[in-house]
Structures are given as structure tokens and as C-alpha cells.
């Protein structure tokens, strides 16, 4: 017993015992065939009965004609001869005058005095010259007779024959035809059974499919339906439902992915905020200590005062870089809608950055070898591309400990993608650090990185800038030593 929304009990739904669609369709076909065959049989029965009645009437009309000829010729001998012979055959002969009186009857001793003009066969003979009818003779034995009348001159000759069993067989329909129709009906029923069974199985499959679809089940119907109109409709329904299921599945998956991405963005932003807060504390604390020392020791020596001012300026510069990098990576991670994309000359951008770092590299005993000469079509942002090369070259100079920074390029055969390689011959990094180099604020040597003025966001900016341009970047240790950054840029 189940409960409805109002709390009242209601009967639990049970599966009704119903006659299958196949059986109902087959029974309907059998009834239709029986009615059709019965109608044809009934029509044939009355047609045969009418035909044989007309055939019997023609035979009796021949007798009537012979009697009329004898009456017209006043040949009483011939008339008596015909009448006596027909009487032995069971044929009743009556002669009626124009007033409807019976003037002769070969089977009656006493002639009736009733008027016979109201008899249907007599009336028809008076009107058209001949007529016949079938009725029960109630005046004598009550037996049924077949009457045939013909008018000639002033007389009407009527012959009658008893409606006996043999005559009934004569008038009966052709039973061979009936048996033939019964056989056709049986064949039709057998064919109809298999035809309706095929349709019934198809409807049963559709019903099972509808029940499963109503329950929201995943359906993988590998068995095709028959190649006919109903089968095609069924196949279309199954395919439409499968596409709907796939669309719902794709929607749910995309929704989960979107939710995951949104949660990941929230996590990254929270982590970025925490990291920024942590990174800001060091330069702010350094400046605060320097300024407090200067304010509390006004008589400090000039050299010491200048040292504290240089420290304060260095912390301020680091703070400025940190804020700039945070602003850049925030714009990139928010989709970069505010960043303008235009036609750029990559060779010029790389050359300018190399010139910018040439003095610093020479100061550390390093050389910059620039083999990037691509000046073909490239759509991007000059500032972002310059930032990519500044970070990669600056990191190599600051941390690699090598003697050379080498920049090279490789263009695909179809010219659709440009690969740029920035490598050094330094000490490289331990393998466990490679997968985390592009994380925000990740440092291999934290103390050394801060001393060099790094913000910990350089490689994260590089990765996001390359992704904004539609490319990707990888890093690995070189066999001969040092790090190799390889990234792609789509051309055109």
C-alpha cells in the first residue's frame, strides 16, 4: 500500500493482465476475414439460388408453352396427353381463365372457386406474360411448391412442382465454392498470424523501449528493427533517444567540468592571494625596518643612512615587480579580454630583449646567441611576447650558472606552427622540480631567488602568455647540461 501526497493510502500499481497487441490484431483479422468470406458466401448463396430458380422456371415455362399451344389449337388429345404424363412426374398443371377462375387442374377433383388473380405468379404473368413464386400451399397438404405461370390468349397456364429435398439441393448454393472460401480464409488466417506476430513483436519491443526510457535507463539497442516504415520509425525513435541521452550526458559532463574549473579558479585565486600576502610581507617588513631605523637614529652616519635607503629602494623595486607580475597573470587567467592582439614581428621583439640583457649577461660571463629570425605573419601581443623572452633569458642569466643562452627556431613543413627553443648550458634542475617550475611562487632555492629579485611568478606568466597565444610550452634537462624551454606559436 502506497501513500499519496496528502498522506492517504492508495493501492499500489499492479501490472494489468492484458491481451497482447499481436493477439488482438490477429483476432481482429480473423473476424474481418470471417465477415468478408461470410458476406461473399451469402451473396453467392442468394445468387445461386436465384439462378437455379430461374433455370427451373425456364424448364416449367417450356411445359407451359406446350400446354398453351394445345389449348390454342383446341387439341384436347395432346392436352390430356401432356397433363397425364406430367401428373405421373409429380407436376401439377392448372389452367386459369382471364377472370382468375381455375378451369382445369390435373391434381384436384373439385376446382376451387377462389379468384387466383391475386397470386403473385398469376399477377406477374398477367402483367408481363410470365412469372414464378415459391410458397407454402395451405389449402391442401401445407407443402411448399414452386409455381411457374405463363399467359397465352385468354388463358394462363400454371405449373407447380413440390419443393422436395431433391429440389432443395437443386436450389442450394454451390458448396464447393463455400469450401473454397473456407480454405482461403484458413490460409489468410495463417498468413495473418505470422504477419501480425511480426508487427506484434515490433510493438512489444517499442513498448519495452518506452518503459526503459521512462525509467531513464541508458539504452544501447544493437538489434535493428525491420526494414519497413514502422521499423524505420522505430529506428528513428531509438536513435533520437540515444542522441538525447548523449546530449544529456555531455551536458552533465560539461557542467561538472565547468564546476570543477570554477572551483579550481577559486582555489587558485585563494592560493594566489595567500601567496601574494606572504610575498608582500618580506619587502614591506624590510622597508618598515629601514624607515623605523632611520627615524629613530637621526644622527646616523651618512654611509649607514645611504645603506638603509638602498635597502628600502630595493624592497620597493621588488614590491613594484611583484605587483606588476600579479597584475599581468591576473589579466591572463581572466581570459585576457583586455589584451590586444595584433600583427607582430617576432625577430624584432627577440632582438630587442637580447640587447636589453646583453650587458647583464656579460657581467656574469655569459653570452646570448640569438638565432630567431622569423619575421613572417604572426598574430599576438608584443608586450606579452617580450615578457616571455625576458623571463626565460633573465632566469637563465640569474640561476643557470652557465656560459651561454641560446635561442633557436623551427618552422613546420606546412608553415602553420613555429617552435622556439630557449636553452642554457648551466646546471639544470633536479628532475623532481621540473613538473612544478610553472607553478606560482614555486622556487627551487627560495633564498637565492629572493636575493636575485625574483617574484616567483615569471614562469607562470610565461606559461599563461604562451597559452593566450594558442601554443604550449615544455621544459626538460639537456643531456649536455642546462635547461631547455620549448614552446610553440601558431603562425598566420
Provide the sign of the torsion angle of the four alpha carbons 396, 397, 401, 404, taken in this order: positive
Beta bridge partner(s), residue 136: 144
Domain borders along the chain are: 16-217, 339-492
Is-same-fold flag (16-217; 339-492)? Answer: no
pLDDT tens track for 414-459: 778 899 999 999 998 888 888 888 876 676 654 444 444 455 677 8
Among 233-237, 372-376, 408-412, 426-430, whose mean pLDDT is lowest? 233-237
Query: Mean pLDDT for the chain?
Result: 77
Tens-digit pLDDT profile for residues 55-66: 888 888 888 888
> pLDDT band at residue 226, thresholds of 50, 70 and 90?
low
How far are the Cα atoms of 39, 181, 419 from residue 168, in angstroms, in the given order? 21, 22, 109
Q: Give the span between the Cα atoms of 145 and 444, in whole angstroms.
A: 129
- With a CB cutoff of 8 Å and minimum separation 6, the contacts of 275 are 440, 441, 456
CA dist., res. 202 & res. 410, Å (int):
62
Instruction: Tell me how far apart the alpha carbons of residues 492 and 346 are, in angstroms, rounded to a whole number.
Output: 12
pLDDT value for 275: 58
**What is the C-alpha separation between 207 and 197, in angstroms, rounded?**
15
Region label for 291, one of left (φ > 0), alpha (ψ between -120 and 50) or beta (otherwise): alpha
pLDDT tier for residue 322 given thresholds of 50, 70 and 90: low
Torsion angles phi and psi, residue 102, rounded to 5:
-80, 115
Would you say residue 6 has pLDDT above 50? no
Digit-coded pLDDT (tens) for 347-394: 999 999 899 889 889 988 999 999 999 888 888 888 888 888 988 998
Q: Which of 142, 179, 182 is nearest to 162 (CA)?
A: 142
- Residues with Cβ within 8 Å of residue 419, at least 6 apart in sequence: 409, 410, 411, 412, 486, 487, 488
Confidence class for position 303, pLDDT limits 50, 70, 90: confident
List phi, psi (to 5°) of 112: -70, 150
Q: How far apart are CA 394 and CA 454, in angstroms?
A: 10
d(CA 83, CA 244): 94
- Sequence-distant (≥ 6) Cβ neighbours of residue 461 within 8 angstroms: 325, 328, 329, 332, 387, 388, 391
Is the sign of the CA dihedral 373, 376, 378, 381 positive or negative?
Answer: positive
| pLDDT (mean) for 306-317 | 81
CATH number corresponding to 16-217: 3.30.450.20
For the chain, percent of residues with pLDDT exceeding 70: 75
- d(CA 263, CA 258) in angstroms, rounded, equals 8
CA atoms of 206 and 491, how far apart (whole Å): 54
Q: What is the pLDDT of residue 409?
A: 92
Say whether pLDDT at 406 is over 90: yes
Q: Average pLDDT, stretch 225-229?
A: 68
Torsion of CA 160, 165, 168, 172, to 10 degrees: -160
CA atoms within 13 A on the CB side of 165: 0
Span 244-257, average pLDDT: 84
Given a cut of 70, whether residue 267 has pLDDT beyond it is yes
Q: Does the pLDDT at position 10 exceed 90?
A: no
Query: For 167, left (φ over 0), alpha (ψ -120 to 50), or beta?
Result: alpha
C-alpha cell at 411: 618552422
Taking residue 166's Cβ as centre, other Cβ atoms within 10 Å add up to 9
Return the higher-pLDDT residue of 9 and 37.
37
- By the 8 A CB rule, do 219 and 212 touch? yes
Provide φ and ψ at 398, rounded to 5°. Answer: -80, -40
More confident site: 125 or 113? 125
Q: pLDDT of 87-101, one tens digit each?
A: 556 788 888 888 888
Residue 305 — pLDDT band, cuts 50, 70, 90?
confident
Please, are residues 152 and 71 in contact by the beta-carbon 8 Å criterion? Answer: yes
pLDDT at 165: 47
Which of the four pLDDT bands, split at 50, 70 and 90, describes residue 279?
Answer: low
Task: Average the pLDDT over 223-239 and give the result.
Answer: 71
Q: pLDDT over 90 for what percent of the chain?
A: 10
Q: Which CATH architecture has domain 339-492?
A: 2-Layer Sandwich (3.30)
Lowest-pLDDT range of 20-29, 30-39, 64-73, 99-108: 20-29
Lowest pLDDT segment from 241-245, 305-309, 391-395, 488-492: 241-245
pLDDT number for residue 133: 87
More confident site: 171 or 411: 411
Provide the pLDDT for residue 223: 65
Query: pTM, whole model, 2 decimals?
Result: 0.43
User: What's the Rg (C-alpha) of the chain?
Assistant: 59
**Which band of pLDDT confidence, cut at 50, 70 and 90, is reported for residue 198?**
confident
Going by C-alpha positions, the residue among 154, 152, 140 that lies closest to residue 92 is 140
Of 223 and 57, the structure prediction assigns the larger pLDDT to 57
Residues in Cβ contact with 274 at an 8 Å cutoff, skipping those fewer than 6 apart: none
Q: What is the pLDDT of residues 27-56, one digit of tens each?
A: 887 888 788 777 877 787 777 777 878 888
Residue (of 372, 417, 378, 415) closest to 392 by Cα position: 372
**pLDDT attached to residue 342:** 85
pLDDT digits (tens, 9 = 90+) for 139-191: 555 677 888 999 888 888 888 887 664 545 544 555 676 677 778 878 888 88
d(CA 143, CA 155): 26
Amino acid at each position: 500500500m502506497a501513500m499519496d501526497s496528502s498522506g492517504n493510502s492508495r493501492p499500489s500499481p499492479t501490472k494489468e493482465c492484458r491481451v497482447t497487441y499481436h493477439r488482438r490484431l490477429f483476432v481482429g483479422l480473423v473476424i474481418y476475414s470471417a465477415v468478408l468470406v461470410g458476406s461473399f458466401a451469402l451473396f453467392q448463396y442468394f445468387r445461386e439460388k436465384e439462378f437455379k430458380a430461374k433455370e427451373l422456371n425456364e424448364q416449367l415455362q417450356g411445359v407451359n408453352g406446350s400446354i398453351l399451344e394445345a389449348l390454342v389449337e383446341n387439341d384436347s388429345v395432346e392436352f390430356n396427353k401432356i397433363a397425364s404424363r406430367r401428373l405421373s412426374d409429380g407436376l401439377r398443371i392448372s389452367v386459369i381463365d382471364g377472370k382468375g377462375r381455375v378451369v382445369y387442374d390435373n391434381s384436384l377433383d373439385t376446382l376451387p372457386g377462389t379468384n387466383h388473380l391475386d397470386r403473385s405468379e398469376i399477377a406477374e404473368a398477367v402483367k408481363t406474360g410470365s412469372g414464378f413464386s415459391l410458397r407454402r400451399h395451405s389449402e391442401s397438404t401445407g407443402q411448399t411448391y414452386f409455381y411457374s405461370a405463363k399467359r397465352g390468349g385468354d388463358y394462363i397456364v400454371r405449373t407447380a412442382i413440390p419443393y422436395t429435398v431433391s429440389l432443395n439441393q437443386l436450389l442450394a448454393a454451390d458448396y464447393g465454392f463455400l469450401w473454397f472460401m473456407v480454405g482461403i480464409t484458413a490460409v489468410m488466417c495463417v498468413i495473418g498470424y505470422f504477419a501480425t506476430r511480426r508487427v506484434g513483436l515490433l510493438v512489444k519491443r517499442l513498448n519495452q523501449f518506452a518503459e526503459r526510457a521512462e525509467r531513464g535507463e541508458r539504452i544501447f539497442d544493437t538489434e535493428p528493427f525491420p526494414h519497413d516504415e514502422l521499423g524505420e520509425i522505430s529506428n528513428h525513435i531509438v536513435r533520437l533517444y540515444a542522441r538525447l541521452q548523449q546530449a544529456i550526458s555531455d551536458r552533465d559532463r560539461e557542467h561538472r567540468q565547468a564546476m570543477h574549473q570554477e572551483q579550481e579558479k577559486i582555489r587558485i585565486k585563494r592560493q594566489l592571494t595567500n601567496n601574494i600576502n606572504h610575498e608582500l610581507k618580506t619587502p614591506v617588513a624590510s622597508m618598515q625596518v629601514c624607515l623605523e631605523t632611520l627615524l629613530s637614529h637621526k644622527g646616523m652616519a651618512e654611509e649607514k643612512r645611504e645603506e638603509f635607503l638602498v635597502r628600502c629602494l630595493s624592497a620597493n623595486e621588488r614590491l613594484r615587480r611583484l605587483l606588476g607580475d600579479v597584475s599581468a597573470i591576473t589579466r591572463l587567467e581572466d581570459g585576457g579580454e583586455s589584451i590586444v592582439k595584433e600583427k607582430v614581428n617576432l625577430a624584432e621583439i627577440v632582438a630587442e630583449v637580447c640587447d636589453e640583457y646583453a650587458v647583464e649577461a656579460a657581467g656574469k660571463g655569459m653570452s646570448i646567441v640569438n638565432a630567431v629570425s622569423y619575421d613572417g605573419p604572426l598574430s599576438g601581443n608584443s608586450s606579452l611576447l617580450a615578457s616571455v623572452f625576458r623571463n626565460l633569458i633573465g632566469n637563465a642569466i640569474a640561476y643557470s650558472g652557465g656560459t651561454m643562452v641560446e635561442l633557436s627556431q623551427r618552422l613546420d613543413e606546412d608553415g602553420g606552427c613555429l617552435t622556439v627553443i630557449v636553452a642554457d648550458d648551466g646546471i639544470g634542475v633536479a628532475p623532481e622540480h621540473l613538473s612544478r617550475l610553472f607553478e606560482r611562487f614555486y622556487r627551487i632555492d627560495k633564498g637565492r631567488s629572493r636575493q636575485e629579485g625574483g617574484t616567483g611568478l615569471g614562469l607562470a606568466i610565461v606559461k599563461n602568455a604562451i597559452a593566450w597565444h594558442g601554443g604550449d610550452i615544455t621544459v626538460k634537462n639537456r643531456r649536455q647540461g642546462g635547461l631547455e624551454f620549448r614552446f610553440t606559436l601558431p603562425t598566420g
